[in-house]
């Protein structure tokens, strides 16, 4: 496990700072309002008229006459204190009254009545009050500020660490990953071996005047192992590994991201030689001046990108800092990023082929107890299109299945179930279908299987099931290719569309009415037909012309925007797509009519057993005959084009 140190954790924690202010503030507050008054002399307040009366009656012994108040003691209380002689420290009872402004005759009266009188000593408690008046408000402010600081830190941990790079630092050589943990992407690995060599023996290169590359861009679909490769480079070269995601640079405030980039490079230079890994580079490196600007601009991202470009230019080639970045959308990156001296090397990290998948499985089963029947080659064959992360997930799913049943080892059946789980989703036995629905699903799936068997390039039908799975799938037909395919020929596309429409076709033929169950098939068939025309240039009428802008090479399921085209061409596209779909539909109907009896038998069997696979399925599928027109239909187009 890599020892991960969070950069932020180094900063002194401001919690104590904030809470000590709060405590001090509370103390002063309590002292001022509750403790201090307890020590002030207590006095009984009387009306001025009563005071005057008592003076005139000769009862007052002593008086301290201030501007705002008069404190006085009665003769009786004074003499009581002198006679008892007990404890001089207990003061005699004092009365207080407020003088009336302009009463100048008072001192005369007091003198006449032999009252000892004078001015009161200066009021020290007033000094304290004034002092508190000046100190307490700022303290309240500081207290609240400290408290908010505390909360902000405890919450996101980001609000006040403006400009600090959030790059996580893996301690030296301890990413815990080496090239032994990476499999199935040998070409990318070989390219990166060179980077390891640069880091380990930089002298060799600098001596002959060669410049070590500064930036390497890893391009590939999600989960193909880009992060893993970057960690492996750091692990092999035994250098520190800084990792940050492109999106972490982008903040609400303009300039924060740029400050983070600066800070990250500063840290990296201090630790050189090292690897800085920026994941999801596209989040910060999107082409400047794009459509985003029309929507009010994206100054923050642009400034951050500019800073990155400047920093990459700014450091010397041979400082030993190598920036590795990963993206699955290379086409949106700003061209300036790929200029020599920045990310001038691009390494494509592909999805693995069959041998690659087997190698990746070998890496991931190391800690898993396997039963004797597990054949990794067979699993690799069943998982075309799976990336490294999918395979890692698959092994884990299989292990979980075995553990759930308290078995000691993971069997081939666990792996097969795990593959289906990943492809089609979890079984949903709780979803109970009524008889009619079950029948519809069974005919639908048998239809897919029969047409799929006759079509080129799609592989063998391996399993048909009418157990609901995943989101919305009421049944499924598992068709696995015998080998990895990188191109699809035109007839194979036609076949694929016909297979997709075969479920609906079977419902039509046998039940005489159609259901909503085919919506997903129709969606996929239409997408494929449209791409055939607009992207692959396979329409004879429109010819090899690109009508879509290819934008997503590595992310599946993204639709590309159309090029600017005239309404007439749009109409022609629609016509071509419709024709393709209609013909495929007709062909599926024809095939199913030709094989009506097999369709019937298979469906009955499926209704009984719910799942058809292996030898039994093969026996049915062997009986499937192709109608005479099929070969002609498949070859209607006379050319083949790549669909990679
Ligand atoms: P990416 O960065 O390309 O999205 P990751 O490197 O994060 O993918 O891969 C996620 C996980 O998938 C890895 O931690 C690893 O367990 C597994 N994995 C991916 N590719 C490979 C590979 N080529 N060899 C072994 N394991 C892999």
Which residue ranges make up each domain of the chain? 46-83+91-121, 168-290+301-348, 354-423, 435-636
Pairing state between β 168-170 and 241-245: antiparallel
348 within ligand 1 shell (Cβ under 6 A): no
Average of pLDDT values for 298-315?
79
DSSP 7: G
Q: What's residue 341's pLDDT?
A: 79
Average of pLDDT values for 362-375?
89
Contact 472, 520 (CB under 8 A): yes
Q: What's residue 447's pLDDT?
A: 94
599 within ligand 1 shell (Cβ under 6 A): no
222 within ligand 1 shell (Cβ under 6 A): yes
Q: Which of 191, 235, 388, 399 to mutate to test the pocket of ligand 1 (most atoms within 8 A of CB)?
A: 388
The CATH code of the domain at 354-423 is 1.10.8.60
Q: What is the CA(567)–ligand 1 centre distance, in A?
A: 45
**Per-residue pLDDT tens digits for 68-125:** 888 899 888 888 777 665 555 667 788 988 888 777 788 888 888 888 888 887 766 6
Q: What is the distance between the alpha carbons of residues 141 and 457, in angstroms, rounded to a whole number?
A: 74
Residue ranges of alpha helices (H) inside 286-386 are 299-314, 354-364, 376-381
Contact 630, 479 (CB under 8 A): no
612 within ligand 1 shell (Cβ under 6 A): no
**How far from the centroid of its chain's Cα atoms is residue 598's Cα?**
50
185 within ligand 1 shell (Cβ under 6 A): yes
Q: What is the distance between the alpha carbons of residues 283 and 389, in angstroms, rounded to a whole number?
A: 21
C-alpha angle 251-255-257 in degrees, rounded to nearest 5: 45
Ligand 1 atom closest to residue 231's alpha carbon, by position in its atom list: 6
Structure tokens at 598: 């097999």
Average of pLDDT values for 241-259?
76
Q: What is the distance between the alpha carbons of residues 278 and 263, in angstroms, rounded to a whole number?
A: 14
Q: What is the distance between the alpha carbons of residues 330 and 373, in angstroms, rounded to a whole number?
A: 42
Question: With 80 as the cut, is the pLDDT of residue 521 above it?
Answer: yes
Structure tokens at 2: 């890599």
Ligand 1 atom closest to residue 181's alpha carbon, by position in its atom list: 25
Q: What's residue 157's pLDDT?
A: 40
**Per-residue pLDDT tens digits for 466-518:** 888 766 678 888 887 777 777 888 888 888 999 999 999 999 999 888 888 88
184 within ligand 1 shell (Cβ under 6 A): yes
Please give the positions annotated as active site: 445
225 within ligand 1 shell (Cβ under 6 A): yes
176 within ligand 1 shell (Cβ under 6 A): no
Contact 459, 497 (CB under 8 A): no
Q: What's residue 558's pLDDT?
A: 60
Question: With 90 as the cut, is the pLDDT of residue 522 above it?
Answer: yes
The fold of the 46-83+91-121 domain, in CATH, is: 3.30.720
Residues 6+ apart with CB under 8 A from 93: 44, 73, 74, 77
21 vs 437 pLDDT, higher one: 437
CATH class, 168-290+301-348 region: alpha beta
Q: What is the CA(386)–ligand 1 centre distance, in A?
A: 11
Q: Give the right CATH number for 435-636 from 3.30.200.20, 1.20.58.760, 1.10.1030.10, 1.10.1740.10.
A: 1.20.58.760
DSSP E strands, 360-475: 460-465
CB atoms near residue 505 (< 10 Å): 28
Backbone angles phi, psi at 462, to 5 degrees: -105, -30
Of all protein residues, whose CA lies closest to atom 15 belonging to ligand 1?
389
Q: What is the CA(229)–ligand 1 centre distance, in A?
A: 8
Q: What is the distance between the alpha carbons of residues 575 and 581, in angstroms, rounded to a whole number?
A: 10
Measured CA to CA in angstroms, residue 271 lies from 190, 219, 275, 303, 321 at distances of 26, 26, 9, 25, 8
Ligand 1 atom closest to residue 230's alpha carbon, by position in its atom list: 6
**Per-residue pLDDT tens digits for 6-19:** 444 433 344 444 45
Q: Which of 6-15, 262-271, 280-289 is predicted with the least confidence, judged by mean pLDDT?
A: 6-15
Of all protein residues, whose CA lies closest to atom 27 belonging to ligand 1?
388
Q: What is the CA(228)–ligand 1 centre distance, in A?
A: 5
Average of pLDDT values for 455-475?
81
Average of pLDDT values for 291-318?
70
Ligand 1 atom closest to residue 229's alpha carbon, by position in its atom list: 6
Whether residue 513 is preceded by a cis peptide bond, meaning omega within 30 degrees of 0, is no
Q: What's residue 600's pLDDT?
A: 92
In the sheet with 345-348, reading across from the earlier edge strand, the strands are 4-5, 168-170, 241-245, 274-279, 321-327, 215-219, 345-348
231 within ligand 1 shell (Cβ under 6 A): no
Of all protein residues, whose CA lies closest to atom 5 belonging to ligand 1?
225
Q: What is the distance between the alpha carbons of residues 437 and 431, in angstroms, rounded to a whole number?
A: 12
Q: What is the distance between the alpha carbons of residues 389 and 3, in angstroms, rounded to a whole number?
A: 22
Ligand 1 atom closest to residue 183's alpha carbon, by position in its atom list: 24
Listed ranges 197-206, 306-315, 381-390; the one with the highest mean pLDDT: 381-390
Question: With 60 as the cut, is the pLDDT of residue 294 above it?
Answer: no
Structure tokens at 401: 């299945």
Question: With 80 as the cut, is the pLDDT of residue 644 above it?
Answer: no
């Amino acid at each position: 496990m890599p020892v991960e140190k969070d950069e932020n954790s180094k900063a002194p924690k401001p919690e104590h700072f904030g809470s000590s202010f709060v405590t001090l503030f509370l103390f002063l507050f309590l002292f001022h309002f509750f403790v201090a008054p307890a020590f002030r002399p207590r006095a009984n307040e009387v009306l001025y008229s009563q005071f005057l009366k008592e003076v005139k009656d000769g009862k007052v012994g002593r008086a301290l006459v201030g501007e705002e108040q008069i404190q006085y003691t009665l003769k009786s209380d004074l003499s009581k204190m002198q006679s008892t002689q007990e404890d001089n420290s207990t003061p005699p009872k004092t009365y207080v009254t407020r003088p009336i402004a302009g009463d100048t005759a008072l001192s005369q009266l007091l003198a006449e009545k032999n009252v000892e009188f004078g001015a009161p000593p200066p009021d020290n408690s007033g000094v304290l009050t004034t002092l508190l008046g000046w100190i307490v408000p700022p303290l309240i402010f500081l207290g609240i500020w400290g408290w908010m600081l505390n909360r902000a830190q405890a919450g996101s941990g980001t609000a006040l660490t403006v400009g600090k790079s959030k790059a996580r630092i893996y301690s030296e050589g301890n990413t815990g990953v080496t090239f032994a943990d990476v499999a199935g992407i040998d070409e990318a690995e070989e390219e990166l071996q060179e980077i390891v060599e640069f880091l380990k023996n930089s002298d060799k290169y600098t001596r002959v005047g060669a410049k070590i590359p500064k930036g390497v861009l890893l391009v590939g679909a999600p989960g193909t192992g880009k992060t893993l490769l970057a960690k492996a480079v750091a692990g092999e070269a035994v250098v520190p590994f800084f990792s940050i995601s492109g999106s972490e640079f982008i903040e609400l405030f303009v300039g924060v991201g740029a400050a983070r980039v600066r800070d990250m490079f500063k840290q990296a230079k201090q630790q050189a030689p090292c690897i800085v890994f920026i994941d999801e580079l596209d989040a910060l490196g999107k082409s400047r001046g794009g459509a985003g600007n029309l929507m009010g601009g994206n100054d923050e991202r642009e400034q951050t990108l500019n800073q990155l470009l400047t920093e990459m230019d700014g450091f010397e080639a041979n400082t030993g800092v190598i920036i590795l970045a990963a993206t699955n959308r290379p086409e949106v990156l700003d061209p300036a990023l790929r200029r020599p001296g920045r990310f001038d090397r691009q390494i494509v990290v592909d999805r693995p082929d069959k041998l690659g998948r087997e190698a990746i499985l070998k890496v991931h089963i190391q800690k898993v107890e396997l039963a004797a029947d597990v054949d990794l080659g067979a699993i690799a064959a069943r998982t075309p299109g799976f990336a490294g992360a999918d395979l890692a997930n698959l092994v884990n799913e299989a292990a979980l299945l075995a553990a759930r049943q308290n078995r000691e080892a993971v069997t081939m059946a666990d792996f097969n179930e795990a593959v289906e789980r990943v492809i089609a989703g979890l079984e949903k036995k709780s979803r109970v279908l009524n008889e009619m629905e079950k029948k519809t699903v069974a005919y639908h799936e048998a239809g897919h299987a029969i047409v799929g068997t006759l079509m080129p390039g799609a592989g063998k039908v391996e399993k048909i099931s009418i157990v609901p799975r995943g989101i919305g799938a009421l049944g499924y037909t598992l068709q696995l290719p015998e080998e990895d395919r990188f191109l699809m020929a035109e007839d194979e596309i036609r076949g694929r569309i016909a297979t997709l429409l075969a479920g609906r076709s079977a419902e039509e033929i046998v039940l005489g009415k159609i259901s909503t169950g085919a919506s997903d098939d129709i969606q996929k068939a239409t997408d494929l037909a449209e791409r055939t025309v607009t992207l692959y240039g396979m329409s004879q009428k429109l010819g090899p012309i690109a009508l879509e802008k290819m934008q997503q090479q590595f992310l599946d399921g993204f639709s590309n925007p159309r090029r600017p085209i005239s309404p007439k061409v749009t109409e022609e596209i629609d016509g071509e797509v419709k024709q393709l779909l209609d013909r495929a539909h007709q062909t599926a109907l024809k095939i199913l009519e030709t094989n009506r009896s097999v369709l019937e038998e298979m469906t009955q069997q499926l209704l009984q057993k719910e799942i058809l696979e292996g030898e039994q399925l093969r026996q049915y599928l062997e009986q499937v005959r192709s109608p005479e027109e099929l070969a002609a239909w498949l070859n209607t187009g006379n050319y083949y084009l790549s669909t990679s």
